[in-house]
Structure 1
Amino acid sequence: MRIIGLDYGSKTIGVAVSDELGWTAQGIETIKIDETAGNFGLPRLTQIVNEHHAEKFVLGFPKNMNGTVGPRGEASQRFASKLEKTFGIPVILWDERLSTMAAERVLLSADVSRKKRKKVIDKMAAVMILQGYLDSLN
């Protein structure tokens, strides 16, 4: 069973996928979106779901450090509903506090240039979100 991990932002969606056994997460790509124009990347997500025969989404759920849900968390909840209606598969909201910062640290320690970090940070955050979920299962 493959699981798709998503790091949903206002301009991009980082995408990761699990291996068949559900042990590891691999980054796939970053999809450009435009929330204000109603472009949520669903055509590309449809291709990814079909290509990988995904049975579940794990969507990063950004909470404030005190545990409350702010505007980005509410946007993620709306996007989760959109995913469930569009694909008919479960969406798990996964606490993603600090996932982008952790991804940034990994890329910095790997000495990735600022320009390259900007291109892969969302995909890397999706990997961290999905890997955290997979680790919780095993």
Structure 2
Amino acid sequence: MKWMGLDYGDRTIGVALSDELGWTAQGLEVIRRTNKAADLARLGEIIREHGVEEIVVGLPKNMNNTIGPRGELSMEFAQLLQTKFGLPVHLWDERLTTVSAERALLEADVSRKKRRQVIDKMAASLILQGYLDSNKRR
């Protein structure tokens, strides 16, 4: 079974996929957002091409565990995905995933330009890996 993890942002969508066993998450690509139809079309291509059966969308919560405007947009996006593709969509707390991705890239001495190109897919990987690890413990 394959999962797809998404880091949904204003300008980009980071995409990660799991391996067949659901043990590891790997960054796949960063979708530059243009319009809703094009974004959904690309996600649909990825779902079909890789046999995705479930989707995990990062839910940005505030540090006090409340959901702000960005979180509301992610929840609406998750509902849209569920309606459009008919797959189970899970929301996963993504607090500090972008910070963790940035820190890892800095430690690896990745240039600023390269970091901008990969940070969203790395954040998507962290979101999906967190979800997969949580399910292993259950």
TM-score scaled by structure 1?
A: 0.96
Choose which of 56, 63, 66 in structure 1 pairs with 2:64: 66
| One-letter amino acid of the structure 2 residue matched with residue 7 of structure 1 | D
Task: After the TM superposition, list the runs of 4 or more consecutive aligned residues in structure 1 that deviate by more than 3 angstroms.
Answer: 37-40
Structure 2 partner of 1:55: 53
Question: What is the DSSP-based 3-state SS (H/G/I as helix, E as strand, rest coil) of the residue aligned with 2:64?
Answer: coil
Residues 55-99 of structure 1 show CA distances to partners (whole Å, capped at 9, x for unaligned) of 100000000000110011000010001000100001100000000
The structural deviation recorded for 1:137 is 1.4
Q: Say if 1:24 and 1:131, in contact at 8 Å, map to a contact too.
A: yes
Structure 1 partner of 2:78: 80
| One-letter amino acid of the structure 2 residue matched with residue 43 of structure 1 | A
| One-letter amino acid of the structure 1 residue matched with residue 9 of structure 2 | G
CA distance in 2, matches of 1:87, 1:7: 18
CA distance in 2, matches of 1:32, 1:79: 16
CA distance in 1, matches of 2:59, 2:38: 16
Question: What is the DSSP-based 3-state SS (H/G/I as helix, E as strand, rest coil) of the residue aligned with 1:86?
Answer: helix
Number of aligned residues: 136
Structure 2 partner of 1:17: 17
TM-score scaled by structure 2?
A: 0.96
Residues 121, 90 of structure 1: alpha-carbon distance in 2 compared, 3 angstrom cutoff: same
Structure 1 partner of 2:128: 130
Instruction: Structure 1: give runs of 5+ residues left out of the alignment.
Output: none
Instruction: Structure 2: give runs of 5+ residues left out of the alignment.
Output: none
Aligned identity (percent) is 63
Residues 11-35 of structure 1 show CA distances to partners (whole Å, capped at 9, x for unaligned) of 100000000000000100000114x
Structure 2 partner of 1:6: 6
Structure 2 partner of 1:92: 90
The equivalences for 1:34-53 within 5 A come to 34=34, 37-39=35-37, 41-53=39-51
Q: Say if 1:12 and 1:122, in contact at 8 Å, map to a contact too.
A: yes
The structural deviation recorded for 1:39 is 4.9
Choose which of 100, 103, 109 in structure 2 pairs with 1:102: 100
CA distance in 1, matches of 2:112, 2:37: 27
Residues 40, 101 of structure 1: alpha-carbon distance in 2 compared, 3 angstrom cutoff: farther
